[in-house]
Amino acid sequence: MGELSHAHPPTASDAAPPARAGWSGWVLSKLSRVTSSGRFLPEIDGLRFLAIISVILLHVSTVARQELVKDGTRGGFADAHETDWVGNILHRGGVGVLVFFGISGFILAFPFALHHLEGARKVRLKDYFIRRVTRLEPPYLVALVGMYAALHLLGPRMGVPAEKMPGPEHLGASALYVHNVAFGEYSRVNGVAWSLEVEVQFYILAPALALIFTLPKVVRRSILVSAILAGGFFKGGFDDVLRSYRLDMTLAGYLHCFLVGFLFADVFITDWKQKPSHGSWRWDLAGLAGMAGILPAGGVTKDQVFANGLSHSAAYLPLFLVSNFVVFCAVFRGRLVRAFFTNAWIATIGGMCYSIYLIHQPMVHVLGKVTGRMVVGEAYWVNVLVQSVLIVPVVVALCAVFFVLIERPCMYKDWPQRLWSRVRRAAGAG
């Protein structure tokens, strides 16, 4: 997911947000990210918010449908993701993962593109890989082991089928980011980890892929646009081929999403000179159109793809990819769109999206079993909005605790030394 890189482009306009007074300022300061450069792009954190809230609402909608029909009186809610307009929109929230991929493409491409296009300092690959391991592994492993233990302690009570319980082999495969390929299914320990495995594959190949920035502008952009559209077409129409080789949940099936970020990095550096002008109403309209354009890719199923014919299905993912690029531009160039996504609270929640992504799903399921008893009328859209209002704030608050205690400390490059120093002091005091 896009949150997996925190090395933001160091431009003059990226200074940290001004300190806020009062209670809100104190909370925001505790929840703020620590970046490698000490600077950040609030627009990127705003895009992360868009991605993570889409994923959360998808899972809230899924749990709501399951829980609200348990008494047998609201059977129509079971297919509300197809018949209810709000349910249909929320059901398409999986596109948030694809937005994350685009964000990762931009963030990881940026320092390499800056070197190749502007002569900036060369990226040291040793530092590049060490940073990703020390920054991302601790929160991931803590969440993974915690969920594994929780499943074995509470899974039977929560109705997890015995055949779906993860074994040590599933835990090991997930820890090594190979569960998708090894078992051909989502991680049994933490289902959302499938996309993190794709992210890791991209991290490994990103330095080599970034060599495209050594090519002339027309050539590299032609290659990027062609690869993006061709990749979307292939994923949309031939995913069964990838699945037959267990490649559907690998970089082979999603490289085109990351390349959207590559293309955006190119535009950001060469066309906008890292200082995009903003305040355009036209980009606001384009951004709204782009957000509408990304939705169709979120709910299409394999049966729908082939029922409508290959020529029809091929439009879904290319449409998303183009729309995603437009949304990226609008968040930087628009007036109202930019104002919303750079709002301090929106950007702060977006900055916590790695923690939220890692642990939100089991929380949604547990909370849904309680809130699912609260029914308001017969309209599904009313009920799913009520469930969202009840569940989402609690999930974000709990994930914020994980962020502060586990993830945020790992954002400091020297966190291992800090931890060791504390251990030594504690041992000396004892």
Whole-angstrom Cα distance, residue 72 to residue 244? 38
Q: Which residue type does 61 have?
A: S
Q: Answer left, alpha or beta for residue 19, where phi above 0 means left and psi between -120 and 50 means alpha.
A: beta
Q: Which structure tokens are listed for 111?
A: 């320092």
Written as six digits, the tokens of 374 are 């609260």
Q: Which residue has the tokens 């949309």?
A: 236
Rounded Cα–Cα distance for residues 341 and 48 (Å): 9
Q: How far apart are CA 288 and CA 149, in angstroms?
A: 43
pLDDT at 12: 33
Q: Give the pLDDT of residue 6.
A: 39
Please give the pLDDT value at position 11. Answer: 39
Query: Model's pTM, two decimal places?
Result: 0.90
What pLDDT shows up at residue 195?
97
Can you read off the two tokens belonging to residue 136? 């991302």
Which residue numbers in the chain have pLDDT < 50?
A: 2-16, 300-313
pLDDT on residue 318: 81
Would you state the pLDDT for residue 323? 94
Q: In whole angstroms, how far apart are CA 390 and each of 120, 212, 253, 368, 394? A: 48, 47, 35, 9, 7
Residue identified by tokens 């091929």 is 314
For the chain, give every domain's residue range.
41-91+345-413
CA 87 to chain centre: 21
Q: Measured between alpha carbons, how far is 36 from 9 in angstroms, rounded to an integer?
A: 10
Query: What per-residue confidence (pLDDT) applies to 148?
Result: 97
Alpha helices (H) along 1-124: 22-31, 42-68, 80-83, 85-91, 95-118
Q: What confidence score (pLDDT) does residue 25 get?
A: 85
Report the pLDDT value the prediction gives residue 408, as an integer from 0 to 100: 95
**For residue 348, which amino acid is it?**
T
CB–CB of 80/380 below 8 Å?
A: yes
CB 126 within 8 A of CB 133: no
